[in-house]
Structure 1
Amino acid sequence: MRIAIFSDNFYPELSGVSDSIINLAKELVKFGHQVVFFVPKYSLKNFKKSGLPKRELDLGKSVKIYRLGSIPFSGSSSQARMVLPSLWRWLKVKKINPDIIHTQLIYGVGLEALTAAKFLKIPLVGTNHTYLREFIRYSPIHAEWFKTYALHYDAWYYNCCDYVTAPSNCVFDEMVKNGFLKPHQVISNPIDTESFLPGSERKRLEAKKEFKLTPSTIFYPGRIAAEKKIDVIVRALAIVKEKIPDVNFAIAGHGNSLSNLKILIRELGLDRNVKIFGILDKPTLVRLYQGCDIFAIASTSETQSITMLQAMACGLPVVGVNSLALPEYINSKNGLLVEAGDYKAMAEKIIYLFQNHSKMQELGQGGHKFAQNFSAENIARQWEKIYSKVIAMKK
């Protein structure tokens, strides 16, 4: 099959969507398929933000990447781009002649996908990665009517697709409330289970030495943004410190809430306990996972959380919040749940795990086993079946 993937987020932007579709493309190519990306063009500043040289991602001869002109746009990653839709880009798609179009987001590039599918009569699959209600805050319009309009637009957009997926049921629950009607199913984003693995005790100690981490280290990697609620973990850390004075909280990533987070860390007297590493390449990120002990997530915007699944794959127990998709992935065999925003309860669970190493090990092993369900190979095989089914439906 020749598969055209349209996305408003892509390399080098820090984004779970980007990571997901890149992993998917790599695996589909192994199965003999061709993949063509239509994605925004990013500036030199965007590449520098990720600590990367400005050159195109090389995914092999069977993957082509077409960059669409874009302008800067407000977003939590500080790298977001907006593609202004045109009436002619479908002609480029016509030359490629894909068997199916797979759209990831509802913005400028997503509208290009709708246009191409309509004009060329190509089957269209949509994936909704986003709980839109949490991201409307980044819009320049804050009126209540706009929120209502945006949620209905989201449902309208995916009603234009022949088949729709999302990584969790909570996404569909919200969409149905706003008029979504199309055939749909939950399918996870893929994770690289070949890279994200538990480390041996020797590797764990080497990583702790490399990153200067104590024996009790909590970890959060990802965007540093308001909806991620990292402040909840920091407040929990202050309580944990009373019982475990040398506790560390390692953070990897960047985002527009970093300066506010640093102020809170300083106010709570946690400067020596918190280590912020910025954006890391994959091998370094894997080593950091392996050097940490507990993964914590307090986000109220997750439709899955790629980094949480990476943590599980690396054998880390999870302490998360009972919000949106997190309880769909955190269970009694891989982690512990607390109510959203309850930093005292989160601190209690973290202390419990640090003081019960057998439970930490049990949950870590359970998480590693659970994460194998979402390997890139397993998810790509599912996508193969979906693409074939939708193509057959349209004939």
Structure 2
Amino acid sequence: MKIAVFSDLFHPELNGVSDSALATARQLALRGHEIRFYVPRYTAKDYAIANLPPIERDWGRGITIRRLFSLPYPTGTGQGRAVIPSPFILRDVKAFRPDAIHAHLFMGVGWDALMAAKFLRIPLIGTNHTAISEFIRYSPIKAPWFSRFALRYVSWFYNRCRYVTTPSRSLIDEMIAWGFRKPHEVISNPIDTDLFKVPSAQERDAARKEFGLVGPTFVYAGGLFPQKNLDVLVRAMGHAVKQDPSITLMLPGHGSERSRLENIATEFSVLPRVRFLGTLEKPALARLFQAGDVFVIASTSETQNMSLIQAMACGLPAIGVRSRALPEYIPASAGLLVPPGDDRAFATAMIGLVHDDGKRLEMSQNAPACVERFSVSSIADRWELIYQEVIHKKV
């Protein structure tokens, strides 16, 4: 099969969408399929933010990249790019002759996908990764009409697709409430279970030594953005450290909130116990998870969260908030849920879990089994079947 994949987010921008799309594509390419990506062109500055050289990586045989002219767009990563839809893309898509087109998002590049599918009469598959109502809360336009418009628009966009997936049931339910009606299913984003795995005792000791860890260690990984509510975690540390001064919170990643979070950590006198690591390459991130004790996440905008399931694959129990997709991915056997925005409840859960060795160990043993079905191979199996069914008009 030949699949044309369109996405408004891609390497080197820090985002689970591009990680998911690339991981699946590479697995499909190993099976003999051809994947062509249509994605924004990023600047040397965007690569530098991710600590990467400004060159196009070789993603392996069977994968080609078409970079589209883009303009800077304000996002939490500082790397956002906006693509203006253009009919000039049709010539390249037509020459590639894809069997199906897959749109990962609903913005400018998504419109290119819609246009190509319509004019070239190629079946269109859509994946929605974004809880748009949560992101609207942080937009410059606060009017209720704008939120309603955005929700209706997302459902309208995906109603143009033959088949639609999302990584969580909560997102599908929201789309249905606003008029979505096409065939659909929930499919997780994939994780590399060969890299993100439970360490041996020696590997864990080495990882803790590498990161200079001594006491109980909490880990969050991802963008330092407003919608991630990381101030809740930092304030929770301010309460929790009074009960156990040996705890540490590790925060790898980059984003617009870092300075504000450092100020909050200073205000709560926990800056030495809250460590900002910057962006880590995936092998280093895996070692950090293997060195940690508990994964923590306070975001109310998640449709899944890749770092969460990567950490669970490494044997970390999770503490999250009872919001959006997190209850779908943090079962009671492998973690705890607290009310959104409640830093004191979060602190209580953090201290309770690291001080209850039996409970934490049981959850740690359960966590990998909860996410093993999200391996790249398993998710690629499902996508291979979906593409075939759509191409042959079985859905």
- The CA RMSD measured in Å over matched residues stands at 1.2
Matched, 1:373 2:377: no
Q: Is the 8 A contact 1:223 1:253 kept in 2?
A: yes
- AA aligned opposite 1:98: P
TM-score (norm 2): 0.98
Q: Is the 8 A contact 1:11 1:57 kept in 2?
A: no
Q: Is the 8 A contact 1:134 1:301 kept in 2?
A: yes
1:122-148 deviation line (CA, Å, top 9, x unaligned): 011000000001112454433332222
**CA deviation after TM superposition for structure 1 residue 214, in Å:** 2.2
**CA deviation after TM superposition for structure 1 residue 215, in Å:** 2.4
Q: Is the 8 A contact 1:76 1:138 kept in 2?
A: no
Matched, 1:317 2:330: no
Matched, 1:35 2:35: yes
Q: Which residue of 2 aligns with 1:164?
A: 164
Q: Which residue of 2 aligns with 1:352?
A: 352
Matched, 1:25 2:25: yes
- AA aligned opposite 1:329: Y
Distance 1:61 1:27 in 2: 11
Q: Which residue of 1 aligns with 2:88?
A: 88
SS in 2 for 1:76: coil
- AA aligned opposite 1:200: S
Q: Which residue of 2 aligns with 1:62?
A: 62
- AA aligned opposite 1:299: S
The structure-2 alpha-carbon separation of the partners of 1:341 and 1:141, relative to structure 1 and needing over 3 Å to count, comes to closer
SS in 1 for 2:393: helix
Count of aligned pairs between the two proteins:
395
Distance 1:292 1:30 in 2: 33
Distance 1:138 1:97 in 2: 40
**CA deviation after TM superposition for structure 1 residue 207, in Å:** 1.6
Q: Any gaps of 5 or more consecutive residues in structure 1?
A: none
Q: Which residue of 2 aligns with 1:207?
A: 207
Matched, 1:120 2:107: no
Q: Is the 8 A contact 2:230 2:299 kept in 1?
A: yes
Distance 2:370 2:99 in 1: 33
TM-score (norm 1): 0.98
SS in 1 for 2:378: helix
1:309-339 deviation line (CA, Å, top 9, x unaligned): 0000010010111100000111122111111
The structure-2 alpha-carbon separation of the partners of 1:260 and 1:289, relative to structure 1 and needing over 3 Å to count, comes to same
Distance 1:381 1:272 in 2: 45
What does residue range 78-157 of structure 1 map to in structure 2 within 5 Å? Answer: 78-137=78-137, 139-157=139-157
Distance 1:221 1:277 in 2: 10
Q: Which residue of 1 aligns with 2:341?
A: 341
**CA deviation after TM superposition for structure 1 residue 88, in Å:** 2.2
1:140-184 deviation line (CA, Å, top 9, x unaligned): 433332222111111110000000000011111111121111111
Distance 1:148 1:85 in 2: 24
Q: Which residue of 2 aligns with 1:269?
A: 269
1:83-103 deviation line (CA, Å, top 9, x unaligned): 011122122100000000110
- AA aligned opposite 1:232: V
Distance 1:226 1:203 in 2: 34
Q: Is the 8 A contact 2:9 2:15 kept in 1?
A: yes
- AA aligned opposite 2:360: M
Distance 1:388 1:5 in 2: 15
- AA aligned opposite 1:26: R
- AA aligned opposite 2:236: A
Q: Which has the higher mean CA deviation after the structures are superposed, 233-242 or 264-273?
A: 233-242
Q: Which residue of 1 aligns with 2:3?
A: 3
**CA deviation after TM superposition for structure 1 residue 394, in Å:** 7.3
Q: Tell me the percent identity.
A: 47
Q: Is the 8 A contact 1:116 1:122 kept in 2?
A: yes
- AA aligned opposite 1:389: E
SS in 2 for 1:164: strand
Q: Which residue of 2 aligns with 1:49?
A: 49
Q: Which residue of 2 aligns with 1:193?
A: 193
Distance 2:61 2:183 in 1: 34
